A and B are shown apart, each in its own frame.
Chain A
């Protein structure tokens, strides 16, 4: 469905305000489709699902958010526009910072917070930032390599026969090409790199928080999430034997963690 400029995948079910809402927020150079299995499952098990494309990404119009704060305003605006009073927020990587900031800014609008593959600070190396502009295809390959931990994942997102490295690379290329005005690769990385409010935001969060971390994550290793874990008031941590792209590399593990945490 389209809400203004924002596209949201509803998991194969109609948008239904009578059900509790969960919003999925993707990371840099991703879109809603990285949540295909988890979002579809929850939509068919009692949840009203909004798996969005961030502004300026793929099916969503508008300018890509230049900061985590700006992105969180877009999430709050989405809740307002859809009439959702309170939602569980699930974010991955850049999306986890957006979810965190949203939960801090509007604590009464967030019922549960799930941070997947998160870290604070989420610094991006100057070389990678520069490459995202000067040699984006090379930078995509670099990010792709560091986002996965195995050449032999179990049946993954899209199902058996899917090659995760190839799927991830194709998606990043497609998302980059989807915006001819702004480099959403650089914009997203810059927003992650410059976000300074993580710990302060975590202290403001009132709702229960689930951390889903990949024990083999090279982009946001579990220890990089500890500053947030230590500030969270009501936190649960689940570690999965996966790399940074947990939703696609360990879709069942992420789903089980979500099922155990989200109470419809």
Chain B
């Protein structure tokens, strides 16, 4: 019986990593809410612990339901494997902590989610890891920021919330010349819009809370390894290329030519930091991923209509979406993101802060909350919420003004979304 032949994106989104349950015949992925898995024998137990056999031991390290999610996102991204984490933040932390310790250095984009900026600028610094922030389009800046102890380049596919498109081919080339990998946060684009590995990225992570799950019901993350970075050739990653006393003196790059990072991230990072994903959460994310392409297509169609409406409204002074030729990343987005640059974007109301407040409070269909990538349309004021810890200077560097409004365009009827925005803009006008 022949196997599958070159399955496409939608087939992988539904089938990668899961077949009908051989015991019960269940077609949906079963939720394995079990902390632990019975050993067949003492010999098998020892072999599982020593990485001589593959299988599940304890759900902090791996779980059958979570493993389906890990395989599925790997399939969609074109990676070799993944690790599901308790959140997107946990995925970022797992990547950083696997690759480096105190005395290391990261070069990161300025256009980051506020939480990522916090982690790198404040928290990791406390643990001895420094970060230099560079504007994503400042190619010379990426080069100039490299130090002898640099271990990682990091950026978002489209920066939050200005939607500066990261020039992954160029930035990854600079990273590789410096002997370090490029980690990309692809949360706002999902693999339906861009597969960063195809453009030179080495590691990708998502806050699966957003478009992957897609329904605003679950917190989770996934960290995917492209298997392309040669840790031995780089010579900078003794964590992966020399014997690790903390796990049977294993030399991860010897055990696996392409999977050393994943091995250490799971065997050390999940084991010791413990930010694993609940199997129930994994199941919810899997449910969302089954319809990822359908949802993303509608997100993009609705976004195009909303962007067109806002761009022509007299009370709107700026719309920050690469669909518009005025956006600095327009050309790059056409090249790297031909299906669209996402449905999360910002715009500025031509007015004072009170008008922005009036706008948000008048919205009925858009919900005012701190999330993006939901099936429902969402709105927030970044300067007072997601990015409130950032200084005005850092805010400006990230392209955020005091009157900036961020939208996450959902799947409602586009006419209703535009009607809601129209009425709210009217309310803002009256508040002048």
Min CB–CB distance B237 → chain A (angstroms): 16
B262 partner residues in chain A, CB cutoff 8 A:
158, 161-162
Min CB–CB distance B76 → chain A (angstroms): 9
Given contacts A152-B16, A158-B256, A173-B228, contact A37 B81 (CB under 8 A): no
A31 at the interface (CB under 8 A from B): yes
Partner of A41, one of B2, B53, B56, B64: B53
Partner of B74, one of A31, A40, A146, A166: A166
Partner of B3, one of A41, A155, A218, A251: A218
B84 partner residues in chain A, CB cutoff 8 A:
161
A37 to B50, CA, bound (A): 10
Contact A36 B7, beta carbon cutoff 8 Å:
no
Contact A40 B259, beta carbon cutoff 8 Å:
no
Contact B18 A150, beta carbon cutoff 8 Å:
no
Contact B250 A161, beta carbon cutoff 8 Å:
no
Contact B1 A170, beta carbon cutoff 8 Å:
no
B5 partner residues in chain A, CB cutoff 8 A:
145-146
Partner of A37, one of B2, B7, B54, B227: B54
Size bracket, chain B contacts: 35 or more
Contact A170 B52, beta carbon cutoff 8 Å:
no
Segment of B65-73, B180-188, B338-346 in the binding face: B65-73
When C-beta atoms are compared, the residue in chain B nearest to A168 turns out to be: B80
B3 partner residues in chain A, CB cutoff 8 A:
145-146, 148-150, 216, 218, 243
Within 154-193 of A, Cβ neighbours of B (below 8 Å) are at 154-163, 165-167, 170-171, 173-175
Contact A150 B19, beta carbon cutoff 8 Å:
yes
Contact B227 A167, beta carbon cutoff 8 Å:
yes
A263 at the interface (CB under 8 A from B): no
Given contacts A151-B7, A152-B16, contact A174 B258 (CB under 8 A): yes
Partner of B51, one of A40, A174, A175, A216: A40
Min CB–CB distance A262 → chain B (angstroms): 15
Q: Per-residue 0/1 for A230-264: is the Cβ within 8 Å of any B Cβ (1 yes, 0 no)? A: 00000000000001000000011001000000000
A27 to B248, CA, bound (A): 28
Contact B12 A36, beta carbon cutoff 8 Å:
no
Contact A166 B79, beta carbon cutoff 8 Å:
yes
Contact A159 B54, beta carbon cutoff 8 Å:
yes
B16 partner residues in chain A, CB cutoff 8 A:
151-152, 163
B230 at the interface (CB under 8 A from A): yes
Partner of B75, one of A9, A36, A150, A165: A165
B17 at the interface (CB under 8 A from A): yes
A85 to B79, CA, bound (A): 42
A-B contact pairs, 30 of them (CB 8 A): A9-B254, A12-B250, A33-B258, A40-B255, A41-B47, A41-B53, A44-B52, A148-B3, A148-B4, A149-B3, A149-B4, A152-B16, A155-B56, A155-B62, A156-B54, A159-B266, A160-B55, A161-B62, A161-B66, A161-B67, A161-B262, A163-B70, A163-B79, A166-B74, A166-B79, A167-B227, A174-B257, A174-B258, A218-B2, A251-B54
Shortest 3 CB-CB contacts between residues of A and residues of B: A170-B227, A161-B70, A163-B74
